[in-house]
Structure 1
């Protein structure tokens, strides 16, 4: 029998540490999927409710204004802003910019903070916080 040797680990496991850039990259994929599936489902339901009768729209409106509906809509809003800001970040990176560790880290954190601030500001406005 051949003697078993331990296989070497991939070098990236010892070189890379988890950081904001990796988090934002993964969030970009997750938010894109969420917007494609859940966002499209909510948008389709809303458009069908608009095209239908008053009862259909009342049902949609009731679901959308329920606390769980608001959680879904706020989550989709955050996913939209996170995906948008992350996409803008990637656009700059595609030109060869923002690969320096400090700039990359700062831009990654800025996308997360920015998406939370934009979501909070929009929902504060939508829920009547600004008169």
Structure 2
């Protein structure tokens, strides 16, 4: 027969509904997401290049997709992901040197990565066009 007088179990970790999101947590998650999302831009670019090398009909299809709104969205998001990943890498180098590990500085550096990547993406788009 089962023991019904069990001792109290340890409390569970706080659920995300009551746990306050923090900037370093958000930037860590964004670093992982952007790293994986860069694959979409690479796949589209490799498909476009391989279609250009294979035949004219394949290239026309790949070029239509790459220059459509979907292609623009993928390449713009990939550009942002590259800038964000770059800035997050610089932030981690700063952390590895033992600097900026206190909470206020880590939050400022997190916001700098997020805002800086958006600003650099907009600047890059303006300069390329």
TM (norm. structure 2) is 0.81
2:46 matches 1:40: no
CA offsets, 1:105-131, max 9 Å, x none? 1110010001111111112233x3xxx
Specify the alignment match of 1:100 in structure 2.
Answer: 102
Residues 53-83 of structure 1: CA deviation (Å, up to 9, x unaligned): 3443333222122112111111111111111
Q: Could you tell me how far 1:10 is from its partner in structure 2?
A: 4.4
Unaligned runs of 5+ in 1: none
1:121 aligns with 2:104: no
Runs of at least 5 residues in structure 2 that lack an aligned partner in the other structure: none
Distance (whole Å) between structure 1 residues aligned to residue 28 and residue 97 of structure 2: 17
Q: Distance in 2 between matches of 1:55 and 1:106?
A: 50
Whole-Å Cα distance in 1 between the matches of residues 121 and 74 of structure 2?
13
Structure 1 CA distance for aligned equivalents of residues 98 and 5 of structure 2:
47
TM-score (norm 1): 0.80
Q: CA RMSD in A?
A: 2.2
Q: Tell me which residue corresponds to 1:49.
A: 51
CA distance in 2, matches of 1:46, 1:80: 19
Contact 2:44 2:66 (C-alpha < 8 Å) held by counterparts = no
Native 8 Å contact 2:41 2:74 kept in 1: no
6, 11, 17: which one aligns with 1:8: 11
Report the structure number with the largest CA radius of gyration.
2
